[in-house]
Amino acid sequence: MKKLLVTGSSGLIGSEVCTYFHNAGFDVHGVDNNQRANFFGPQGDTRWNQERLVTNLPHFTHHEIDIRDREGILKLVETVKPNLIIHTAAQPSHDRAAAIPYDDFDTNAVGTLNLLEANRRVDCSVPFIHMSTNKVYGDGPNNIRLIEKETRWDYDDKTFEKGIPETYSIDHCKHSLFGASKVAADIMVQEYGRYFDMPTCCLRGGCLTGPNHTGVELHGFLSYLVKCNLEGREYKIFGYKGKQVRDNIHSEDVVRFMFEFYKNPRIGEVYNLGGGKDNSCSILEAFEIASRFSGKEQNFVYLDDNRIGDHICYYSDLTKMRAHYPAWDITISLEDTIGQIAEAWKARQSK
């Protein structure tokens, strides 16, 4: 039986990875120590997801290891000898990073290095998939000419009609400390690929979401928005008139791409993994869709100050992904995704 090592296994993408690859016949080894609860408090706790995996997946093994533990990670990789490593663990918040810069960089950058070097020492031919972020582009996309529409901002430049391509510059812009730590990890993953001929890819995710997301105010926009709508809780809009745009991709579609890469890996690749223009929405548009599922109006407050390094408009150009892996495409629409999130929050509330 082939073996998968996945970090952040109790998180949104990590747990989806565990289930998908387990069902594909893998012996799955998950690495998670519930750091999300330390970063975001009790509302970020993912132990429920860990318990779900342990209960439902007979070929799943949980490892309580911090990816900052260099010797622990090396020993684990040496022991498991995985056929694939998928790295989804991270400190994921712009705002939180400024308050915990050491923890942010040590988790995002140094933790990634620990995994890469362990992989190189044990078996350099093993594919390494890294969950990066579109925040590596910093606020650079805000320099693209925009047009203001009734409910959203959009690009007013034909060059970006399909969204942001992988060739867009990551330099000369403001990233937030989170964005900077993820840039360091992203470049290191590429470098291990090219320098050591290791099959690696960086997936620069847009808004990754789905029913298993434990969204909080500082991370997980769509999940948290739907939760606020259902509970009548006040949602804060940070600037840009609530017309800022994000492309949203269901965690299942993320994992389906990872599986395609595993079957046909490349060296030092980068992909902008988001929902694309068709799965994009503004905050105001998300309010409207969520209200359709709940029957409730969104309770919100508007704050003039936008988040540092935040995008006014961002959606991914999926051209390269579709060209390299034609068997893959988006299969779950924005509306279906929001509907699943709403049902999942209702189910959790009823327990």
Q: pLDDT (tens digit, 9 = 90+) per residue, 83-108?
A: 999 999 999 887 889 999 999 999 99
The runs of H, that is alpha helices, within the chain are 12-23, 35-40, 47-56, 70-80, 94-99, 101-105, 111-123, 176-196, 221-231, 251-263, 283-294, 319-324, 334-349
Higher pLDDT, 311 or 218: 311
Query: Which amino acid does the sequence have at 285?
Result: E
Q: How many residues does the chain have?
A: 351
Q: Closest Cα to residue 194, out of 99, 292, 270, 271? A: 270
**At 115, phi and psi to the nearest 5?**
-70, -45
Q: Closest Cα to residue 273, out of 3, 13, 6? A: 13
Tokens 């470098």 locate to 191
CA atoms of 338 and 283, how far apart (whole Å):
13
Is residue 38 over pLDDT 80? Answer: no
Give percent above pLDDT 70 in the chain: 99
Is residue 70 over pLDDT 80? Answer: yes
For the chain, which domains are there?
3-349 (3.40.50.720)
Burial 168-196 (b: 16+ CB within 10 A, else e): bebeeeebbbbbbbbbbbbbbbbebbeee
The two counts, helices (H) then strands (E), for the chain are 13, 15
Is residue 37 over pLDDT 80? Answer: no
Query: Which amino acid does the sequence have at 36?
Result: R
Query: How would residue 221 be classed by pLDDT, with cut points 50, 70 and 90?
Result: confident
Whether the CB-CB separation of 96 and 102 falls below 8 Å is answered with no
What is the average pLDDT score of the chain? 95
**At 346, phi and psi to the nearest 5?**
-65, -40
CA atoms of 259 and 265, how far apart (whole Å):
10
Query: How would residue 35 be classed by pLDDT, with cut points 50, 70 and 90?
Result: confident
CA atoms of 39 and 20, how far apart (whole Å):
27
* Structure confidence at residue 307 (pLDDT): 83
DSSP state string for 228-260:
HHHHTPPEEEESGGG--EEEEEEHHHHHHHHHH
This prediction's pTM = 0.93
